Amino acid sequence: MMFGAARYPVAAASHRAAIRRLGDFMVTTPVAWLFPGQGSQAVGMGKDLAERYPSAARVFDEANDAIGVDLRALSFDGPQDELDKTANTQPALVAASIAALRAAEESSGAPLPEPIVVLGHSLGEFSALVAAGALKLADAVRLVRTRGELMQAADPHGAMAAVIGLDAYVVARALVGSHVVVANDNAPGQVVISGPRIELARAVDDLKHIGAKRVIPLRVSAAFHSPAMQAAAPRLRQAIDVTPFGALRYRLIANVDGRVHEHAREMPALLEKQVWSPVQWVSSVNRAHAEGASAFVEFGPGTVLTGLVKRILPNVATGNVSDESTLRQSLPLLKGETR
């Protein structure tokens, strides 16, 4: 595996203090870049941007060539059930997310200010690594295609559900003694659980009994981010180990520990562990804020992550880039401009 020397942005204090003049007086706002995970996919994703921006269109061309699958047609036209297959969803979402970033860069007409950190939710961590320069797009698409196939095959009897109205520690305590676990600590009052389908059904009843407002089954093919995924880990690590990694141009906050990472050599072990470990999204967002981020912009379909950020940090600015309209709305934020 090839690694380069890491380079990372200036300290958070410098970001907070940075001021520049652009027409009227404006203050540069430190921005964190976000990249969504499985569940955000939707037919039509990336189409508007690819039709308007050659750089976004090239992302789909490169992704198609990398795995020999027409991700452009699948993303733009569906059908939804094919897009929802894990082995298709994962490379398609990476392509749509990076296409959104490239469109924003092209629309800006100049390099975007460096993000203070990048972070992605589960699969989105691979998109974040592409954005940070540690993975080439083609390598990332091939890697997540393999990841999706392994995850899809690892656990045919698993399921997941979103628990609304209870915090992660309450849910975890209620699950003690079962094979169901907390898979995502997404936001206060929003937790995802994962485990064997039969045990999950019993856990749903228990959680409703202790105060869950709703428990919503998720459209997934296995118990992701649970011990069941350990079966996929060795072969995933083999695929990771033959994938070249470059330097991390931007600092990355990892799902599994909510910590800032500056060196690409740390990523293979983290990515292997991530597949069977819970996504520490609350910790990750809070860490980004502690590093100085006062704005969060999501690249890719939907607004799932910015919605979670607003629940974690109600007073921060958020934006997303999924089509031309949202790009235009978010571009000033991406440039760090607030009046």
Residue 178: Cβ-neighbour burial (10 angstroms; 0-12, 13-18, 19+): middle
Considering the domain architecture, whether residues 122 and 270 belong to the same structural domain is answered as yes
For 182-239, write each residue's pLDDT tens digit: 999 999 999 999 999 999 999 999 999 999 999 999 878 789 999 999 999 999 999 9
Reading the block at residue 42, the tokens are 């939707």
pLDDT at 3 over 80: no
Residues 6+ positions from 255 with CB-CB distance below 8 Å: 119, 120, 121, 122, 125, 270, 274, 277, 279, 280, 281, 284
- Asked, for residue 64, whether it belongs to a domain, the answer is yes
Mean pLDDT, residues 115-127? 97
Would you say residue 325 lies in a domain? yes
Same domain, 140 and 274: yes
What's the pLDDT at 20?
34
Identify whether residues 293 and 240 lie together within a single domain: yes
User: Does residue 10 register a pLDDT over 70?
Assistant: no
Question: Is there a domain that residue 316 lies in?
Answer: yes
Residue 257: name the closest of 241, 245, 273 by CA.
273
Dist. CA 246–CA 265, nearest whole Å: 9
pLDDT at 29: 74
Q: Is the pLDDT of residue 318 over 70?
A: yes
CA distances from 262 to 89, 118, 255 (A): 28, 11, 14
Among residues 199, 267, 205, the alpha carbon closest in space to that of 237 is found at 267
**How many independent structural domains does the chain possess?**
2
Same domain, 59 and 145: yes
In terms of domains, do 24 and 139 share one?
yes
Find tokens 């936001």 and name the residue. 187
Say whether both 130 and 191 belong to one domain: no
2 inside domain = no
Boundary of a domain, candidates 178, 194, 217 = 217
Say if residue 141 is in the same domain as residue 110: yes
Pairing relationship of beta strands 260-261 and 295-299 according to DSSP bridges: unpaired
Mean pLDDT of 325-335: 96
Domain boundary among 217, 236, 258: 217
| 211 shares a domain with 258 | no
Q: Is residue 6 part of a domain?
A: no
Query: Within this chain, do residues 137 and 42 fall inside the same structural domain, yes or no?
Result: yes
pLDDT of residue 152: 87
**Does 225 qualify as catalytic in the annotation?**
yes
CATH number of residue 140's parent domain:
3.40.366.10
Residues 91 and 191 both lie in one domain: no
CA distance 271 to 289: 23
- Residue type, position 54, single letter: P
Asked which of 175, 192, 217 is the last residue of a domain, the reply is 217
List 40, 75, 121, 225, catalytic entry: 225
| 5, part of any domain | no
Directed axis angle between helix 124-131 and helix 137-154, to 10°? 170
Given the residues 97, 122, 221, 277, the one annotated as active site: 122
Q: Is residue 267 domain-shared with residue 150, that is, in the same domain?
A: yes
15 is catalytic: no
Considering the entire predicted model, what is its pTM?
Answer: 0.91
For residues 50 and 46, what is the distance between their CA atoms, to the nearest angstrom? 6
The CATH number of whichever domain residue 204 belongs to comes to 3.30.70.250
* Residues pairing with 27 in the sheet: 19, 338
Residue 312 domain boundaries: 12-154+226-338
Residues 313, 285 contacting (CB under 8 angstroms): yes
Give the pLDDT confidence score for residue 338 in this predicted structure: 57
Please check whether residues 168 and 146 belong to one and the same domain.
Answer: no
Q: Is residue 178 part of a domain?
A: yes
Q: Is residue 234 part of a domain?
A: yes
